[in-house]
Amino acid sequence: MRLQTILIIACAAFSLIAAPASAQTPSGTSTLFGTNLVVNGDAESDTGAPSNSQVVKPTGWTTTGEFTAVQYGASGGFPDKTSPGPSDRGKNFFGGGNVAKSTTTQTIDLSSGRQAIDSGGVTYVLTGWLGGYSAQADNAQVTVTFLSAAGGSLGSGRIGPVTPADRHGATGFFKRTATGSVPAQARAARVVITATRFEGSYNDGYSDDVSLFLEDRAVLEKGASK
């Protein structure tokens, strides 16, 4: 019995020594950091509308108006695979439908990162490809609003619009990015894409590859110092 006890203790000690450092999760880390928190920000979760007369509500979003996923190259003069835009554009993008204004909203839970957020050390990067049709002024904007546990606004960031001048009158998309600090006490992030029509019958406020990344500065600085 004494020999068996000694062997058990020795095996346990060896397992502690041999365990890789990556097997232990550092204190204060969260799966919120370093990953895109926007679900279906590339409009690829659905079969997009094949023409300007159809609406496909994108999965994972709450929409108003006729906000829709649209196929690249859909009939009606939409952007195609050769139009300016993301290199990894996939099959679909977002459009505004046949109304003057359409929106889509997604609210992201940030509570698992509250320790790092409340320390004031968390930053965000909001990115998207935004655009429109030809020389028309229709456009898209993306906002992120950080909310308290009670739902109050603590601060926000925005990308867009991309103007016809920015696009040099071409149909397509251009990348826009906003960065900033996540306010202390933030417990959720509300991402809203707004497509606005100024000309024509179709709302050509286009968007694609919308993303929101959070980074914990303390973890990044610790990694850089190694």
pLDDT in tens, 147-184: 999 999 999 999 999 999 999 999 999 999 999 999 99
Which H or E run contains 224? helix 217-224
In angstroms, the CA 128 to CA 201 distance is 25
Q: For tokens 């926000």, name the residue.
A: 156
In angstroms, the CA 75 to CA 225 distance is 54
Q: Is residue 15 part of a domain?
A: no
Q: Is residue 1 part of a domain?
A: no
Residue 178 in tokens: 């906003």
- Name beta bridge partners: 217: none
**Residue span of the structural domain in which 177 resides:** 26-224
Residue 127 in tokens: 């990115």
| β-pairing verdict for 153-159 and 206-216 | unpaired
Q: Is residue 109 part of a domain?
A: yes
Residue 184 in tokens: 């202390």
Q: Is residue 12 part of a domain?
A: no
pLDDT of 1 above 70: no
Q: For tokens 């829709």, name the residue.
A: 68
In angstroms, the CA 206 to CA 109 distance is 26
**Which pLDDT band, with edges at 50, 70 and 90, does 224 fall under?**
low
Q: What is the pLDDT of residue 21?
A: 32
CATH code of the domain covering residue 209 = 2.60.120.260
Q: Does a cis peptide bond (omega within 30 degrees of 0) precede residue 161?
A: yes
In angstroms, the CA 86 to CA 172 distance is 10
Q: Is residue 10 part of a domain?
A: no
In angstroms, the CA 167 to CA 162 distance is 7
Q: What is the pLDDT of residue 31?
A: 83
pLDDT in tens, 59-99: 999 999 999 999 999 999 999 999 999 999 999 999 999 99
How far is residue 147 from each of residues 108, 187, 214, measured CA to CA in Å? 10, 6, 15
Q: Is residue 7 part of a domain?
A: no
Q: Is residue 119 part of a domain?
A: yes
Domain count, the chain: 1
Q: Is residue 20 part of a domain?
A: no
In angstroms, the CA 110 to CA 145 distance is 12
Higher pLDDT, 206 or 6: 206
